[in-house]
Structure 1
């Protein structure tokens, strides 16, 4: 069984998290059955961007990175406190551990910013939220990241980044493909109506 750690910061965007739970969940029931997703946070209750409340299955201090095959990080809103959790040392250290082990890391939208802050994207290609005059892409570049501003999804070795919520399903499907196979991913897409 391949396990995905869905790392949630307070203030995360529910839609960006839900694509990972759904795609990995659909694979568990209607695909090859080889994946499982575990939600993890820094707090016992997390409030997403628009006040939806989530109780993670594990707290970050309980995580053993060796038990997981991939890390998924949805973005969130600064106004909802996203960066308070996403820029914390505990959050950044999980990212570093996954990258050091060469495990897949998939992020959506500003989920790339904690990757940049952690240092795992130094001199690597990536992207992040592309609207609002490119302010978030400039922030990512400040972490010595080679930002590809016009690419919706950027894959550099083991890391997937994307530029806004519209890329959520494609990123989740790419993660599933990397964990299983293109054939299996296409099967799940069909089952989900894509």
Structure 2
């Protein structure tokens, strides 16, 4: 699917340019019928030539912005949230001409918060510059890395080279601890977001994602995909971003109302806050004592 994304874009824009007033259902039906037609063998070369010319013409008509992004790194560690890391990875892998790598703290496999075990592409000691850095969240692993000065210093150094430094969910706790968000507007996972960001000199926006200069932060888990799509749009333009969204069929429609503090019932919110506090407080206390 990924290898054919440019061809998909070309097909979309060929249909739009030739049949601007045609409904989507009619386009699909017409395409289905055309694929069912039988052509004589002698027509094959003619059809291939026509298809190639149509493809070239449409590709020239589609505006895909040029960018200078080459190296994208996604920090991973034991206990990282799966979708925090792999949601942005899926989207950024669509940026042509880029190298997207998962970057671990040390050699060996990483196990996510949902028990996915995988081999990262490289380690932090092998990376000294990036164009985009993504810092995902998690739970215990995230809190542990809030106190990991080696990692915090690596992020500070990498930030000197980035065009975008980003965080997803509680990954903002790690990014905030570096001091890079001081005086910035930022967002993060709803749990103690305002408190955690304020402790690091940032102002909580309570938005799905927030940009302040080159710093992009997002709320919990799935919001990292929205943030990544926003960055993709800025880099490549709306047309290409929309093509990627269609490739993903990214058009969320949850079955019930929920998913944010504002849309969650008070009793469920109290339950979740109490559960998170019960889990997080002992971990924070553990690492505070080690300081």
Residue number in structure 2 paired with 1:3:
71
Structure 2: 5+ residue stretches without partners = 1-68, 251-291
The equivalent position to 1:140 in structure 2, one of 171, 190, 197, is 197
8 Å contact kept, 1:107–1:171: no
Residue number in structure 2 paired with 1:88:
148
Deviation digits for residues 73-128 of structure 1, max 9, x if unmatched? 111012xx322235422321232123333520121111111111000001110011
Structure 1: 5+ residue stretches without partners = none
Deviation digits for residues 131-174 of structure 1, max 9, x if unmatched? 4xxx24312211111112x2121110111111212312101212
1:42 aligns with 2:105: yes
Counterpart Cα distance in 2 of 1:23 and 1:41: 20
Structure number with the higher strand fraction is: 1
The equivalent position to 1:77 in structure 2, one of 132, 139, 152, is 139
1:22 aligns with 2:90: yes
Q: CA RMSD in A?
A: 1.9
1:187 aligns with 2:251: no
TM-score (normalised: structure 1): 0.84
Counterpart Cα distance in 2 of 1:36 and 1:70: 10
- Count of matched residue positions in the alignment of Structure 1 and Structure 2: 181
Structure number with the higher helix fraction is: 2
Deviating runs (4+, > 4 A) in structure 1?
A: none
Structure scoring higher RCO (CA < 8 A, sep ≥ 6) equals 1
- Structure number with bigger Rg: 2
Residue number in structure 2 paired with 1:63:
127
